[in-house]
């Protein structure tokens, strides 16, 4: 099984000095058990459910497994590479949350501050109440004053009640808002329009996924005085050495992007149509970034190290502890995330038995709409990252599989 580690080590070396490589045995992992990852993921490729993947497992600060499988593009058959760039979608959210908490550490806001303190359009929110059968109304809902204003913590925990595309009587209003987006719009423009829509529930009373982290990203812009792309680049990506993480593909890097796919009927994959180009000034904190497995490892390791990496400190250990604590009490997430609650930008494992998958209480992470996922396990000093590009992906068990395969490789 030495070949598995050597392949990973060579891949790491090819990327330069950005990744600290380690022998699996030295970090408490078994190389022969890590070798189970490749055939498990290859099976998804053979069934034409994904085109390819990059998997990374690190422990105790060392990358013990970095493997490429399949192809970046089915038409060209270009092999997947360690530095292939993936659209990470909602894996942008933890980065935007870190950006916000960097400003929190500077004393710029408190978590319970109302969002309207910085974005006045959110003042005096209303809540949509479904129209009762015996009411005469021209709409699906009426509005009532919200019990309180939205706080910054509500945004970071997805408990603000903002309209979204997943649920609630305001779905159509939000969809209309999205359709009306113009090529020259910024996230700030969209945020101000979003603030005019009624909430789907009173802030803090439920958990519902949606565009809250776009508002977080705009808050970073308002508070810092910088566009989000510049804040990310200067305050996060450059200090951490994340040279391949961007909102938009820089010249010369387009060929390194993996093609995104959607399932085709009766089986197979078809390319996802690319969105039309625009002014490249819409910097979505909720889902706009593309990155590589090595880059995201550096971000993950910074968090696992208590907010610093290679001498660059972004956060205090106590702030990372705050971010990775349960902030929503007993409010449930999606049924597929049983056993998890939510912190400030991450899901947080609170009940191992309920989750029904290997791990440790306190592990945290998040995924993206095209199937990418990462998690950090502070107890075991373990990082797992899987990069794929297919949407939807929720008919696949590949995310659960990579976590199972990572933990079964631990031998001490």
Same domain, 320 and 391: no
Which 3 state secondary structure label does DSSP give 53? strand
**What one-character DSSP code corresponds to residue 258?**
P
Task: Collect all residues with Cβ–Cβ distance below 8 Å to 328 and sequence separation of at least 6.
Answer: 157, 159, 207, 341, 342
Nearest-10 Cα torsion for 92, 96, 97, 101 = 150
Is residue 234 in a domain?
yes
Residue 195, domain member (yes or no): yes
- Assess whether 381 and 363 both reside in one domain: no
Q: Is residue 263 part of a domain?
A: no
pTM: 0.94
Confidence of residue 289 (pLDDT cuts 50, 70, 90): very high
pLDDT of 7 strictly over 50: no
Tens of pLDDT, residue by residue over 157-201, are 999 999 998 888 899 999 999 899 898 999 999 999 999 999 999
Asked whether the beta carbons of 347 and 156 are under 8 A apart, the reply is no
For residue 356, the tally of other CB atoms under 10 A from its CB is 10
Q: Region 203-228: what's the mean pLDDT?
A: 97
Query: Do residues 105 and 158 share a domain?
Result: yes
Checking if the pLDDT of 233 tops 60, the result is yes
Residue 383 contacts residue 304 (beta carbons within 8 Å): yes
Q: Tokens 């998040």 belong to which residue?
A: 366
Same domain membership, residue 388 and residue 344: no
* 258 in a structural domain: no
- Residue position matching structure tokens 């015996």: 134
Clarify whether residues 165 and 217 are in a common domain. Answer: yes
Check if the beta carbon of residue 64 is closer than 8 Å to that of residue 8. yes
Query: Pick from 219, 242, 32, 227: which is nearest to 121 by CA?
Result: 219
Is the per-residue pLDDT at 355 higher than 80? yes
Do 161 and 49 fall within a single domain?
A: no
DSSP H helix total and E strand total for the chain: 14, 16
Please tell me whether residues 186 and 321 are part of one structural domain: yes
CATH (domain of 347): 3.40.710.10
User: How many domains does the chain divide into?
Assistant: 2
User: What's the CA gap between 336 and 278, in Å, rounded?
Assistant: 35
170 & 231 share domain: yes
* Domain annotation covers residue 377: yes
Among the residue ranges 21-25, 149-153, 269-273, 283-287, the one predicted with the least confidence is: 269-273
Domain-located, residue 63: yes
Task: Tell me which residue range forms the domain holding 393.
Answer: 1-86+370-412
* Residue 278 placed within a domain: no
Kindly tell me if the per-residue pLDDT of 6 is higher than 80. no
Is the domain of 200 the same as that of 322?
yes
Q: β-strands 364-367, 373-377: how paired? A: antiparallel
- Nearest C-alpha neighbor of 122 from the set 135, 134, 113: 113
* 14 and 159 inside one domain: no
Instruction: Count Cα neighbours of 353 within 13 Å in the Cβ-side half-sphere.
Output: 0
| 261 within domain boundaries | no
pLDDT for 279? 74
pLDDT attached to residue 12: 42
> What is the pLDDT, as a whole number, of residue 338?
96
Same domain? 122 vs 59: no
**42 and 177 inside one domain:** no
Q: What is the pLDDT of residue 14?
A: 41
């Amino acid at each position: 099984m030495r070949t598995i580690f050597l392949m990973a080590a060579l891949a790491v070396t090819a990327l330069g000095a950005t990744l600290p490589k380690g022998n699996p045995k030295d970090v408490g992992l078994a190389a022969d058990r890590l070798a189970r990852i490749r055939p498990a993921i290859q099976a998804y490729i053979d069934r034409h459910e994904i085109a390819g993947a990059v998997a990374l497992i690190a422990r105790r600060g060392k990358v013990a497994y970095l493997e490429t499988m399949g192809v970046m593009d089915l038409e060209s058959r270009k092999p997947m590479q360690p530095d292939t760039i993936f659209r990470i979608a909602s894996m942008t959210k933890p980065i935007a949350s870190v950006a916000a908490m960097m400003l929190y550490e500077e004393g710029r806001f408190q978590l319970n501050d109302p969002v309207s303190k910085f974005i006045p359009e959110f003042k005096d929110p209303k809540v949509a109440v479904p129209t009762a059968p015996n009411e005469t109304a021209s709409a699906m809902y009426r509005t009532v004053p919200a019990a309180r204003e939205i706080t910054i913590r509500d945004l970071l925990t997805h408990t603000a009640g903002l309209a979204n595309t997943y649920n609630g009587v305001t779905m159509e209003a939000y969809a209309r808002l999205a359709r009306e987006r113009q090529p020259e719009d910024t996230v700030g423009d969209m945020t101000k329009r979003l603030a005019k829509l009624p909430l789907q529930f009173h802030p803090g009373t439920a958990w519902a996924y949606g565009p809250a982290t776009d508002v977080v990203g705009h808050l970073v812009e308002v508070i810092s005085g910088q566009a989000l792309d510049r804040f990310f680049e200067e305050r996060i990506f450059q200090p951490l050495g994340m040279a391949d993480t961007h909102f938009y593909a820089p010249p010369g890097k387009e060929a390194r992007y993996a093609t995104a796919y959607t399932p085709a009927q009766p089986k197979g994959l078809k390319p996802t149509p690319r969105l039309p180009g625009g002014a490249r000034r819409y910097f979505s904190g909720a889902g706009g970034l593309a990155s590589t497995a090595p880059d995201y490892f550096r971000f993950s390791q910074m968090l696992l190290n208590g907010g610093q990496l290679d001498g660059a400190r972004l956060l205090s250990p106590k702030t990372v502890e705050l971010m990775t604590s349960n902030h929503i009490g007993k409010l449930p997430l999606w049924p597929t995330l049983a056993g998890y609650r939510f912190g400030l930008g991450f899901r947080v494992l609170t009940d191992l038995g309920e989750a029904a998958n290997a791990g440790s209480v306190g592990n945290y992470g998040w995924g993206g709409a095209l199937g990418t996922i990462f998690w950090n396990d502070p107890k075991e000093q373990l990082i797992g990252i899987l990069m794929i590009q297919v949407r939807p992906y929720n008919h696949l068990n590949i995310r659960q599989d990579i976590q199972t395969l990572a933990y079964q490789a631990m031998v001490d």
